[in-house]
Amino acid sequence: QVQLVESGGGLVQAGGSLRLSCAASVSFFNLNVMGWYRQAPGKQRELVAQIVRGGRTNYADSAKGRATISSENAENTVNLQMNSLKPEDTAVYYCHAVHKYGGDYWGQGTQVTVSS
């Protein structure tokens, strides 16, 4: 099993920035994909950004130019830097990982609230 612990959520003003972090309980050598999803009340969970083994990154159109995903391999941690935040970015953000040998794992989520 993989445990994922998110941190860094909070309340920010529109136009501000936040940096989310996700620490995995296993080495990144055992993970093929790590990413961030978000879910707003009454809406489906959606991908924000992900990083794949080899360093390739993918972003939702709404996040391109405002979000950057990166990894700290020695710390088994993935980060999401979000700038120019908008009220529509308000959601619970979930860390996600795919194990090398199969299985999807999710963190408990961290709340991001952007005030207008």
Residue 105's alpha-carbon distances to 23, 66, 84, 95, 96, in angstroms, are: 12, 26, 29, 8, 6
For 76, the token pair is 């088994």
pLDDT tens profile 22-66: 999 999 999 999 999 999 999 999 999 999 988 999 999 999 999
The confidence band for 1, taking pLDDT boundaries of 50, 70 and 90, is confident
Q: Are 38 and 104 in contact (CB under 8 A)?
A: no
pLDDT tens profile 60-84: 999 999 999 999 988 999 999 999 9
